[in-house]
A and B are shown apart, each in its own frame.
Chain A
Amino acid sequence: MTILSFTLILLLGAFLAGLLGSLTGLGGGVVIIPLLTLIFHADIRYAIGTALIASIATSSGSASAYVKEGITNIRLGMFLEIATTTGAVAGALLAVFMPTHIVAIIFGCVLIFSALTSFKKKQDHSTESGNSKLAERLRLNSSYPTPTGIVNYKVHHVVGGYFMMLFAGVMSGLLGIGSGALKVLAMDNIMRIPFKVSTTTSNFMIGVTAAASAVVYLQRGYVSPGLCMPVVLGVLAGAFAGSKILTRANVKWLRIVFSLVISFLAIQMIYNGITHKL
């Protein structure tokens, strides 16, 4: 295979990843690493560097739309970014000492977790009551626009959420993913924030979190232009196309299919990790 055909096939794969990721809300970055390692037989370190850059692209691209709508809680995002960036730098440092087959196994586990959370029926725990002193002092309580008017909400368990974000940051730095599923978990279940706010705020934070470890990986030579070019352009085009057809598609079945594909890839990653093939 020549570089030209390699690039074109990878461009198509990344486009599909971005399209499905944006339609199902699972993010395109999660399938980039299995795509590159299992199908294109790239070293997992190149795959991590490439996936990080892809998640910065999709996060910044979609955040630009959400932020304008005024749903994103920018203060909450800024505060929690202290945790995620610290975690991301720690994760990138940890990656040096971590054998690649262990990274592959951890990655598979996080992937299965992400697929499972997309099946689980979501419960909105948000309330207008609550008196977290810390949330008040940090001015985290906010409101967001809905079709029926402005809805107020209070942020709970700030410390618990902060530590969960620290963990999400470590995973992001170690594995090169946005770890959106972990971030949403922290905000939905622990901090009890409305869905729309938690998903958009998580997405807002992914770019900065990924950038914090990307600067380390770039200097380490993990970020290869030959891989980043088709992946970034493909994922961005796919995510953009996904946002255009989102209103017309039946997302429920698509989500089930995509989650099954992700789980299958995850098991492959774990298997290859155990047998030291990655």
Chain B
Amino acid sequence: MKQLFSKYLKDKDIQQIIGKQLRIGVVLSSIIVFIGGVIYLIRHGHEQPNYSTFTGVREGLNHLTGIWQGVLENKGMNIIQLGVVLLIATPIFRIAFSVIAFLLEKDYLYVCLTLIVLGIISYSMLGGLAG
């Protein structure tokens, strides 16, 4: 019984930390998106939007090095995209964090299962699937 109780508590701690990590990710990326948005609107607010024909985003907004390069030049669009990347990374960080959490719990089956999910996402990211 005592063992059961302590296990429940442990699970509870991990849930608290995962919950906090998700919240920080969302809040932080919204702030970055907002800042980028203000810069973008001040500079380009008077122009005409064009999304009806698909051309893909402009060069430099579709990969990490390009996005970061533009952030250093204070480009609004790139700052927004940095926030978007952080938002995408939030659940991925949650997975990476879960690996550690399951390791601490000595639940090696779930360490493996979680690593599989992480592997699938890494393949999706680095496997050149964009085509």
B33, B45, B117: which contacts A208 (Cβ < 8 A)?
A: B117
- Min Cβ gap B93→A in Å is 10
A82, A226, A228: which contacts B49 (Cβ < 8 A)?
A: A226
A64 CA to B93 CA, complexed, in Å: 13
Q: Which residues of B contact A41 (CB under 8 A)?
A: 51-52
Q: Are A221 and B46 in contact (CB under 8 A)?
A: no
Q: Which residues of B contact A63 (CB under 8 A)?
A: 19, 22
A233 CA to B84 CA, complexed, in Å: 11
Known: A211-B121, A215-B124. A60 touches B25 (CB 8 A): yes
A3, A7, A66, A220: which contacts B130 (Cβ < 8 A)?
A: A220
Q: Mark B76-103, 1 if CB is under 8 A from A, else 0.
A: 1110110111011111101100100000
Q: Which residues of B contact A215 (CB under 8 A)?
A: 88, 121, 124-125
B61, B80, B94: which contacts A221 (Cβ < 8 A)?
A: B61
Q: Which residues of A contact B89 (CB under 8 A)?
A: 211
7 contacts between A and B (CB under 8 A): A43-B53, A59-B91, A60-B22, A64-B26, A74-B98, A81-B95, A211-B88
Not counting A227-B51, A236-B26, a sample of 17 additional A-B residue pairs whose C-beta atoms are within 8 angstroms of each other reads A2-B45, A4-B45, A7-B37, A59-B91, A60-B94, A61-B22, A70-B12, A78-B117, A208-B92, A208-B94, A211-B90, A211-B91, A223-B57, A223-B81, A225-B36, A233-B30, A236-B30
